[in-house]
């Protein structure tokens, strides 16, 4: 399989080529469009790392710094938008770099998850040194179930690290207050208003993202999936947590939350989900709550998983791009 890094570079090269053809002073009608050659990236400087794939990557807000995990035992770092890369040795050669996140306000604060051990490792010096957060797995999450990680911008000197997963029955979200006087893991999914912690449902927390304006709104957005047997259908939700009030959704004043992204017959698995928030997202203003949720689910023969990209304009969902549905007869 070709490295996803090389695919991303291919896209970048295509964009650069098109820009060179069209972004000239003379109007398009005044010249003939044509093709030019571009040098294909080589294996030098880990631009193409032979024999590996990219398990996850994170881009810092400076636009230049990128971290990519190979899912084995290395992180790769670029400080020039992917033109060249360096290989970073992680905390332990037995670790797997499955999930990666970087702080939006400091490209040196980076964390990764080893899903085999469920440990989270963090660095505050760009990957030169590492430490295991809390020296234990995140509270409440069962082995091999972490599905997402996010780091907040600093608020009062604290960068929060959040991970999503499940305990075998319910969705679980835990946070770590990195930089606090007594940092520790806190299972925030046990706090009031979280839908995916319900005795009537088998649920999962599958993706999450801190608000780009976290120092102002103190909001964490989480994508959850609930198998609601009593309702006869399954749902994908967007849920909001307030770090200010330590409660979720309507309990925190977010009217009509959790918001339904899709509701289907039966979801039998969640291969992957992702969430991206608008750079101007502001959780305290419903007019500024613009989010994008990507879904790749497996549904039974009666369910329509509605895979693809969905725009959440506050609580209003709109499918932007559909994708083939995976089906299961299990």
Domain count, the chain: 1
Give Cβ neighbours of residue 130 (< 8 Å, ≥ 6 apart). Answer: 90, 91, 121, 122, 123
* 126-184 pLDDT per residue, tens: 999 999 999 889 999 988 889 999 999 999 999 999 999 988 888 999 999 999 999 99
Residue 18 within any structural domain of the chain: no
φ/ψ (deg, to 5) at 281: -55, 135
Whole-angstrom distance between the N-terminal and C-terminal Cα of the chain?
Answer: 29
Residue 322 within any structural domain of the chain: yes
* 4-14 pLDDT per residue, tens: 434 333 433 33
Instruction: Choose between 77 and 327: higher pLDDT.
Output: 77
Residue 1 within any structural domain of the chain: no
Residue 13 within any structural domain of the chain: no
Give the domain range for residue 168. Answer: 51-328
Residue 119 within any structural domain of the chain: yes
Residue 179 within any structural domain of the chain: yes
CA dist 149 → 112, 133, 145, 321 (Å) = 8, 13, 12, 24
- Long-range contacts from 178-187, C-beta under 8 angstroms, 24+ separation: 178/109, 178/122, 178/133, 179/154, 183/133, 183/134, 184/134, 185/133, 185/134, 185/136, 185/138, 185/139, 186/139, 187/138, 187/139, 187/140
Tokens of 127: 């990957």
* Domain CATH for 150: 2.130.10.10
Alpha helices of 183-328 — where are they, by DSSP H?
214-217
Q: What is the mean pLDDT of residues 29-38?
A: 70
Residue 145 within any structural domain of the chain: yes
* 173-219 pLDDT per residue, tens: 999 999 999 999 999 999 999 986 555 556 889 999 999 999 999 99
The most distant pair of C-alpha atoms in the chain lies apart, rounded to whole Å, by 68
Residue 37's pLDDT is 75
CA dihedral for 186, 191, 196, 201, sign (positive or negative): positive
Residue 168 within any structural domain of the chain: yes
Indicate the SS3 state at residue 132. strand
């Amino acid at each position: 399989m070709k490295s996803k890094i090389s695919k991303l570079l291919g896209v970048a090269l295509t964009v650069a080529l098109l820009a060179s053809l069209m972004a000239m002073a003379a109007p398009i009608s005044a010249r003939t469009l044509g093709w030019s050659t571009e040098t294909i990236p080589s294996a030098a400087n880990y631009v193409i790392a032979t024999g590996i794939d990219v398990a996850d990557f994170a881009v810092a807000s400076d636009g230049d710094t990128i971290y990519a995990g190979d899912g084995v035992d290395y992180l790769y770092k670029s400080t020039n938008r992917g033109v060249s890369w360096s290989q970073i040795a992680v905390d332990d050669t037995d670790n797997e770099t499955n999930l990666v996140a970087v702080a939006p306000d400091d490209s040196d604060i980076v964390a990764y998850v080893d899903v085999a051990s469920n440990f989270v490792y963090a660095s505050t010096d760009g990957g030169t040194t590492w430490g295991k957060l809390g020296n234990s797995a995140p509270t409440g999450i069962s082995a091999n179930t972490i599905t997402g990680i996010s780091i907040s911008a600093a608020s009062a000197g604290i960068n929060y690290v959040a991970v999503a997963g499940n305990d075998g029955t319910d969705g679980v979200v835990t946070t770590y207050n990195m930089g606090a006087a007594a940092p520790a893991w806190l299972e925030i999914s046990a706090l009031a208003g979280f839908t995916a912690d319900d005795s009537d449902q088998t649920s999962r927390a599958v993706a999450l993202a801190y608000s780009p304006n976290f120092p102002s709104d103190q909001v964490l957005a989480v994508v959850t999936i609930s198998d609601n047997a009593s309702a006869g259908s399954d749902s994908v939700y967007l849920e909001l947590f307030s770090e200010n009030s330590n409660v979720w959704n309507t309990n925190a004043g977010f009217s009509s939350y959790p918001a339904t992204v899709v509701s289907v017959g039966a979801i039998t698995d969640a291969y992957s989900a992702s969430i991206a928030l608008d750079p101007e997202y502001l959780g305290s203003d419903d007019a500024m709550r613009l989010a994008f949720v990507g879904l790749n689910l497996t549904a039974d023969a009666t369910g329509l998983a509605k895979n693809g990209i969905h725009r959440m304009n506050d609580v209003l969902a709109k499918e932007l791009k559909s994708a083939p549905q995976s089906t299961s007869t299990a």
